[in-house]
Amino acid sequence: MDLRQGIGLRKLGKTADDFQQDLLSNLFYRRGTTVESASARDAYETLSLTVRDRLAERRSRTAAAHFATNPRWVYYLSAEYLLGAQLEQNLLYSGTGELAADAVKALGFTLEDLEELDIEPGLGNGGLGRLAACLVDSLATRDIPAVGYGIRYDFGIFRQIITEEGQTERPDDWAFQGNPWEFPAPDDRQTVGFYGHTEPVPGSQTRKRWVPGEIVLGEPSHMLVPGYGTETVNIVRLWRARGSEASFDLSRFSAGQYAEAVQEAVRAENISKVLYPDDSTELGRELRLKQQYFLVSCSLRDIIRRFRLRNEGWAQFADKTVIQLNDTHPTIAIAELMRLLVDEYEVEWEEAWSITRRTFAYTCHTLLPEALETWPVHMFERLLPRHLEIIYLINMLFLREVEARFPGDPDRLRRMSIIGEGPERRVRMAHLAVVGTEAVNGVAELHSKLLRETVLNDFADLWPAKFQNVTNGISPRRFVRLANPRLSDLITEGLGGDGWLNDLEQLAGLESLADDASFVERWRAIKRDNKVRLAVGDPDSLTDVMIKRFHEYKRQQLKILHVLAMYHRIRADPSGDWVPRTVLFAGKAAPAYHAAKDIIRLIATVGARIAEDSVVSPYLKVVFPENYNVTLAERIIPAADLSEQISLAGKEASGTGNMKLALNGAITIGTLDGANIEIRARVGAENFFLFGMDAYQAANAHRQGYSPWAYYEADGELRAALDALRDGTFGEVGQRVAGSLLDRDEYLTLADFRSYMETQDEVDRTWRDQNRWSRMSILNTAHSGFFSSDRTIADYAARIWRVEPVPVPRED
């Protein structure tokens, strides 16, 4: 029997009777209950297993095709994956939606009942994790052999509660009742070391023996990632930290010292407890570094295991393997692969370094210097002593290369060194990522340009061909077909087919319908119905949406100043012809980021004050749905009229929320920042509300001695808004936010205020002409085809990874 071909496995039927029989079989034999006693949870788990079985069947054929082909693999290392709820997507991708709806009726439930029980995995925070999820979706849809690697966090980021006191964090116990989409694989566990010391190896100048002082086990599980319209099913493999057998002290337990007996195991398991533990303390920072090394150590051993299933030696490793570093978090993988090759597999340093540099590629997701991770040398030396030695040697050889290319330039050597020499010596992870990879890419045209010109300018001088751009993208299946099904149906009808779901450029065909009265009326009705479904304000009001992680550079504070200015305008002229607005904020702030949490608290305070004001509230409403995640985004995005993308130009790498909103017909008000530039270029300047300085003007403003007080004094409306914060009308939090803006205003909020207000007035004028607004909305969708994650993956595959699709044959 050829097990790799799956011969001998029971074929899963495709009829409604087959599906129902499989559902009942899973209910009896895998859930252990009966139809008469099945709860909603029983029905949900059973349905999930039944759908999962069908994807697993495709997965077995995918693995067989990959084994036979022995292709070059893509391994995607990411600290985050925001996969979203799985049931509805897997029903769509497996083509079993109608079968499932009929089958669960026999259990006395509706499909909608069971989808409400589907909890999304809490494995990410914001755009980085959602991008990773879109890219693994498109990797499978494009038939690219790939594995995503991450950490299986027990509590994810956190569950957010919003009150007038602001944001409160609660644990996100997303897997409390289990995760039916997950396949545990404890037999594939890996061993990870920390601390300890190194010892020389006789006869070798570069090889060392690392003797760890602590051992942790990495236990994997995986989730299936099906492609849409294809047979390919890839996986995301997630690592969970476990204590080793030696971490339980039986003698202490027997002596009644129960906490002390398990303290080593608890310390080990803390590694995968929470995404991004608070790094405001030394212990928190060390835990973050442990997380990062844990992820890459487990993943690299697994990658090597997979390589050696079909290959021998190391000559082909870089030809068969490309490892994409999703931001700086997994950069320690460069030093770890060198350690594995040199110390454990006894590859000579020069060959190992050649393999390593040809294997890795690096995506940089930021322009903020503080987001380019650095770690104290003393922490590295204590936690990962062998890796620090390897980094020192890499750096020495690299600086020789720089010196040869740019002789007599010590300042350049200092700037480019992987080790930053300052009051505290630090390892610069972004520098290691550039030095140890074959390709470096930004995620929008402006971002990539600014990386080359500013943040990584010296490296671009040395290796100009290494730097590329791959603009981010999003999955149209998740963010239109699933999130906005009525709009999806209308688009399919208008285009005469649903091929656009795999070829988003086909949306351009909607342009011819932008003036079709019947089509426009239906488009407008769908948007209104989506607002009714969202149920946060008057569905006939302009729904003004700002949904993103809270950070001062994203400038939620600019939006709240606009709200305060409108509040004052309406109070001054209650009978004015005001455009009613529902202003919706959503997003989370890092628990230790107090300035961002102040902005959240101020929004809640202002929103409550407006709600109590009978003069203003008919025209202006501020809402803040709590615990923003993919599920909530799928309700907000289809209802949005206006998309707020107002970060200071030159600070946002790309953004993907801007793409999701434009794809669903929201019109952007934004700066020339990140992917806003590319959105505006494609949808047309006349269909985009532009304001504010560009990146170069913003940089010049700071160089020329920017004074927030000058803008305060010159603009009466701005002064009134800030005075309302300064005088305590909105409590101490208002005073703190105003003080921050007037004392430093690092992100030029006050400088862009007047331009923003004037553009918002243009928004109001446009909204009054609903035919014009609807046309702009349709054209935003029609010209968003470029922003598919399928195109993003095609760009990576052709320009950076050099990988080819491996189609999986359909079953007979």
Task: Find the radius of gyration of the CA atoms of the chain.
Answer: 27
What is the side-by-side order of every strand in the sheet holding 581-586?
A: 620-623, 581-586, 542-547, 642-645, 667-670, 689-690
Q: Which residue has the tokens 């003698």?
A: 251
Opening angle at CA 227, ends 225 and 229, nearest 5:
155
Judged by DSSP in three states, 215 sits in strand
Q: What is the DSSP string of 730-785?
A: THHHHHHHHHHHHHT-TT-HHHHHHHHHHHHHHHHHHHHSHHHHHHHHHHHHHT-G
If DSSP states are collapsed to H, E and C, what string results for 667-731?
EEEECCCCCHHHHHHHHCHHHCEECCCCHHHHHHHHHCCCCHHHHHHHCHHHHHHHHHHHCCCCH
Q: Residue 812 burial by CB count (10 A; 0-12/13-18/19+): exposed, middle or buried?
A: exposed
Question: Within 13 Å and on the Cβ side, how many CA atoms surround 414?
Answer: 7
Show the tokens assigned to 224: 């299936």
**Which residues are bridge partners to 327 per DSSP?**
none
What is the rounded CA–CA span in Å between residue 85 and residue 90?
9
In the DSSP assignment, the letter for residue 195 is S
CB 183 within 8 A of CB 269: no
**Long-range interactions of 95-102: CB distance < 8 A, separation 24+:** 96/19, 96/51, 96/54, 99/16, 99/19, 99/20, 100/19, 100/47, 100/50, 100/51, 102/16, 102/19, 102/20
Q: Residue 410 burial by CB count (10 A; 0-12/13-18/19+): exposed, middle or buried?
A: exposed
What is the rounded CA–CA span in Å between residue 452 and residue 454?
6
**Would residue 634 be called left, alpha or beta, if left means φ above 0 and alpha means ψ between -120 and 50 degrees?**
alpha
Tell me how far the alpha carbon of residue 553 is from its chain's centroid.
18
What is the rounded CA–CA span in Å between residue 506 and residue 509?
6
Show the tokens assigned to 9: 């496995």
CB 482 within 8 A of CB 666: no
Question: Within 13 Å and on the Cβ side, how many CA atoms surround 57?
Answer: 17
Q: What are the backbone dihedrals phi and psi of residue 252, each rounded to the nearest 5 degrees, phi first?
A: -65, -40
Q: What are the backbone dihedrals phi and psi of residue 643, each rounded to the nearest 5 degrees, phi first?
A: -105, 115
Judged by DSSP in three states, 437 sits in coil
Judged by DSSP in three states, 792 sits in helix
- What Cα–Cα distance (Å) separates residue 103 from each residue in 3, 35, 88, 93, 95? 31, 12, 15, 18, 14
Q: Which residues are catalytic?
A: 365, 548-549, 554, 656, 660
Show the tokens assigned to 549: 């992680």
CB 642 within 8 A of CB 537: no
Helices and strands (H and E) in the chain: how many: 34, 23
What is the rounded CA–CA span in Å between residue 401 and residue 547?
45
Count of beta carbons in the 10 Å neighbourhood of residue 424: 10
> What does the buried/exposed string (b/e) look like for 286-324 if buried means 16 or more CB atoms within 10 Å of the residue's CB?
bbbbbbbbbbbbbbbbbbbebbeeeeeebeebbeebbbb
Count of beta carbons in the 10 Å neighbourhood of residue 116: 13
